[in-house]
Every structure is written in C-alpha cells, then in structure tokens.
Amino acid sequence: MTAVADTVAESAAGNRYDVAVIGAGPAGMAAAAAAAENGLHVALIEGGRQLGGQYFRHPAPGLNEPWASQLHHGWSRFETLATRVETSSRIDVLFEHQVWAVEAGFNILTDRGPIAAAHVVLATGSYERVVPFPGWDLPGVFTAGGAQALLKGNLVLPGRRVVVAGTGPLLLPVAASLSVAGAKVLGLFEANHIRGYAKHPLPLLKNPAKLLEGADFARQFLRARVPLRSGLMVVEAQGTDALEAVIVARPDGTHRRRIACDALAVGYGLAPQIDLALTLGCEHKLLTDGTVALRVDTNQRTSLPGCYAVGETAGIAGVESALVEGEIAGLAVAAGVAKSRNGSPAALRRRRDRLRAFADVLRARHPVPPAWRDHLAPDTLVCRCEEVPARAVAEAVEDLGATDARTVKLLTRAGMGWCQGRVCGYAVACLARRDPTEPPNPADLLAAAKRPLARPVPLGVLAEQDRRNK
C-alpha cells in the first residue's frame, strides 16, 4: 500500500478516488484489490486498525499462544489477499476512519473528515442478532461472535467453562475455537433441528467443500468431547453479579436442564449492516429469516448508480461469497470506468450464485425460534442500553395501543440508546406484534436496520461538516 494517509485532509487533498471501499473485511479487501489491479485508484476505509474484518480478525503482532494458528480456517486466503492490498500502489488504506454517512455523488463522511469518490463499494459486513432472555445482561453472557472476537483478537478466553447456544453456522467455529484454546465447552446447543438439511439436497451437493467443513467440525467436537445437541435453547441465564449457570430447554420449555458455567456465547445469526446504504436510498429486500439486505444485480450493483454492495450486505452468506463478490464488484467498477462492455467473468458469477444458493438453505434452516418470547420475565431487559424491561414493552403494546416498533420506541425508549437499536431492534419488532404468532412487520424490521447516522459522532464533527457544506 502507499503510505497510509494520516489524515483525510492529506489523502483527499484535491483528490477524488475512483472508488471508495467501505470496510476492509474479506469482501472489501477483494474489491479493493481487484479494482486496483485493473488500474483504479482506491480508498479502502476501515474503522478498525487491521485488515481482515471480523472473519480474519487476528491478534496484534507480539501476541502469541501455541494454539493461535488453529483459530482460523484457510488463513492463507487472508495472507494472499493482504499481500495484494498491501503491495498495491493504487490503494490507500485508511484505518480508524469511522464512516457515519455517505452522500450521493459520492462523499463519504468520516469522523476524520470527508472522502470523495466516483464509486462506492459497501462492504460493511454484519452484526450479530440476539434475542433477550432472563439474565442475558449478566457479565459472562457474550454474543457468539463477541466470544470469538475476544479470542481471535486478544487470545483471551471468555471463561473456562463455556456454553455455546443459539442458532446458525457461526456456532460451529465458535465452539471449535473455544475448545482449541483450552476452554471446556460444555455443550453446543443449536435451537433448530439439523435434520432439515436433507430437504435441500441440491445446494448441498453443489457445495461439497461446505459439507466437508461440517464433517470436520463434527470430528473435532467428537475428539474434544463437545456435546452437540439440536432442538435446545438457552431460556435463562442465572447469577447474582455475573453468570453462574444457564437453563437449557426445548423451545416449548420442556426438558429443562441447568448447566453451571462461567461464560455463555449466544447468537441467533447475523444481520447485514446496511444503514449507510438505506440512508442513501438503495433498494433492499426482506429475507426469509427476517433480516433486511441490499438488492444487487449480477455485478453487485445496487439500485443507486455507482454504488455497489458485496458480502454480508447483500444477505448473510459467509466468507467465500464475500471474497467472490468483492472480486466481481472490483472488476465491474473497473470495467465501467474503462467503458468496457465486459463486466465480471461469468465463472465468478456462477460460483457466487452457487454459494448464494447454499446460504439461502442455511438461512431457511436457522430461523430464530419464535418461542423466545415465551421465556421473557416481566423484568427481563429488552433494551440493554436504556434498561427497558419486557413489562414496559408489553404495556406499550397491550395498554397504550402501540402497533409498531416506532411507537414502542417512543413510549419506552427501547432502541434509543448507544447501540441505536442494533441489539434490541429485532426483538422490539417481534414484540410490537400483539399476536405472537405473527411474524414481525417488514416495516418494523426495516426501521430497525435504518439509522441516519451509522456511527455515534461527536457534535463537533457534525458542525464541521455543516461548515463545509456552506
């Protein structure tokens, strides 16, 4: 990479990038590399301090443990990609730049000032979806990805005796890496039944690598004596000032069992992080699992000319899709600039479609079990930031007549805190339905994904932007 610009003033001095890639995870790195290799001048903008995003999160130099190398599947993919990014003279990697909004045209507003670019590739990844249960605010309860991030980034375990629970494919690598790092994984509880996969043989058979990966985890769990149980979920966390035990049960509350533990890693899948795109007005789609994703065409273009979306922003699909889609977008932007009629290679697009078909099966097999609502106690916090209990949300819906998430929010403050509803948004959308059998209203799910400021920014930064606009 060229010398990493210290300030935006320097990087953007009279300079408009051909393309700004937002997010330096697998998809963003691939997009930046492909675009730069095809002659474009690229700004790769990243809020953190390293390449790789959440998937390839790695410890700072100097940190080491004998087991550290076993935390990543396919680490060489990252090394190859990092070399492509770091050796390119056409990529400016801008670390520690938090993007809080994107203006059409494009003007990328960061906490360190604006960056101008002719095209933008959104590679902002995802965040984890969780639903409330009694005791989920106790220290010692982590999101599954949070436990993984702590381990991958710090080489620190969330606890010694850990329960992994929730639903979705992320739980497998989380349990595996905790076990490799020396934690006693007391169980991996997948809320959905795994046997449902047999109903979708075609996408599975077309992705043999995925099947082998699954078999790999199964062998690893057998060896480490990690019990894998499906059809069970954590319905309660217990403890006074920190986690002491969890109650695991069937979604209907039967087969309750108490497991003493000092950490719980829980997650109900991932949700695309698309607030920047929704504010820009990009078209979106509601997926079967209740997540909202960006609508893209075969070249990863969103509905907004010049704006592309790759990886999880187009629907949760995992690292392989992210890598392929990044390449496709990078090549497509370059082709557009060169006014070439060739977009991205058809082989890449076919591979992407195959991976996406597999991801659709995964999403369909791992819904949030609707019964999570039945396990709430009146004082269970729904909104952790504003400390809004389930009782207050129920009052808003049953007594005060709220019929949508926005009204619930205005009446209770649920979703108004620091996280801007990222943690409780899905739960509030569900609870705004008086009839628990009704799926959440799409408008409420969309509202939960949308926020005009994608990151909390100091007022001074807003004032500075206002001055620039005048």
Partner 1 sequence: MSVQFTFDGHPLTAQSGQTVGGALLAAGVRSWRTTRFQGRPRGLFCGIGVCFDCLVTVNGEPNVRACLAPIADGDVVTTQAGDGRG
* Token code pair at residue 446: 């969309």
Nearer to partner 1, 54 or 207 (CB): 54
Q: How far is the CB of 62 from partner 1 (least distance, A)?
A: 5
In sequence order, the 6+-apart residues with CB closer than 8 A to the CB of 70 are 177, 180
Interface of this chain with partner 1, residues 219 to 248, rule: CB under 8 A: 241-242
Nearer to partner 1, 140 or 272 (CB): 140
Residue 309 parent element (H or E): strand 307-309
Q: How far is the CB of 237 from partner 1 (least distance, A)?
A: 12
Binding letters toward partner 1, positions 138-177, x by CB under 8 A:
xxxxxx-xxxxxx--xxxxxx-------------------
Residues 53-63, buried b or exposed e (16+ Cβ, 10 A)? bbbbbbbeeee
Q: How far is the CB of 266 from partner 1 (least distance, A)?
A: 10
Residues 83-99, buried b or exposed e (16+ Cβ, 10 A)? ebbeebebbbbbeebbb
User: Binding to partner 1 by residue 445, rule CB under 8 A?
Assistant: no
Interface of this chain with partner 1, residues 120 to 139, rule: CB under 8 A: 127-128, 137-139
Helix %, strand %, coil % for the chain, to 5?
40, 20, 40
Nearer to partner 1, 151 or 332 (CB): 151
Interface of this chain with partner 1, residues 334 to 393, rule: CB under 8 A: 384-385, 387
Interface of this chain with partner 1, residues 394 to 433, rule: CB under 8 A: 417-419, 422-423
Q: How far is the CB of 418 from partner 1 (least distance, A)?
A: 3
Residue whose entry in the numeric block shows the structure tokens 């006014």: 339
Rounded to 10 degrees, what is the CA torsion of 347, 351, 353, 358?
170
Nearer to partner 1, 218 or 242 (CB): 242
Q: How far is the CB of 242 from partner 1 (least distance, A)?
A: 5
Q: How far is the CB of 326 from partner 1 (least distance, A)?
A: 20
Report how many helices (DSSP H) and strands (DSSP E) the chain contains, helices first: 15, 21
In sequence order, the 6+-apart residues with CB closer than 8 A to the CB of 54 are 25, 125, 126, 145, 149
Cis peptide bond N-terminal to 133, omega within 30: no
User: What does the binding site for partner 1 look like in residue numbers (CB under 8 A)?
Assistant: 47-49, 54, 59-63, 127-128, 137-143, 145-150, 153-158, 241-242, 384-385, 387, 417-419, 422-423
